[in-house]
């Protein structure tokens, strides 16, 4: 793959971002983003952070159609 890196026409090689630079973004951003997936996919199903059924019922169709176990 790396061998053919020279003939890509106008495109400049993409800059490498070091793991250390990425780590804080991956940890904090990743956590928040996974929490968003959790609220759409699983909250008030098998586990509940918030009392009630409102979240589950509101995103009900999205949860089914995205393939998450709903109820």
Phi and psi at 47, nearest 5°, equal: -130, 155
Q: Which of 44, 47, 66, 69 is nearest to 57 (CA)?
A: 44
d(CA 70, CA 42): 7
Among 48, 49, 50, 66, binds another protein (CB under 8 A): 66
Count of residues in contact with another protein, rule CB under 8 A: 51
Write down the least CB distance from residue 55 to another protein, Å: 10
Write down the least CB distance from residue 49 to another protein, Å: 14
Ranges within 3-62 binding another protein (CB under 8 A)? 3-6, 8, 10-17, 19, 21-22, 25-26, 29-30, 32-34, 36-37, 39-42, 45-47, 53-54, 57-62
The token pair that represents 45 in the structure block:
């199903």
């Amino acid at each position: 793959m790396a061998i053919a890196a020279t003939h890509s026409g106008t495109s400049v090689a993409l800059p490498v971002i070091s793991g250390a630079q990425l780590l804080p973004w991956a940890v904090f951003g990743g956590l928040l983003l996974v929490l968003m997936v959790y609220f759409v996919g699983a909250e008030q199903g098998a586990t509940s952070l918030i009392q009630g059924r409102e979240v589950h019922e509101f995103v009900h169709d999205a949860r089914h159609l995205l393939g998450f176990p709903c109820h």
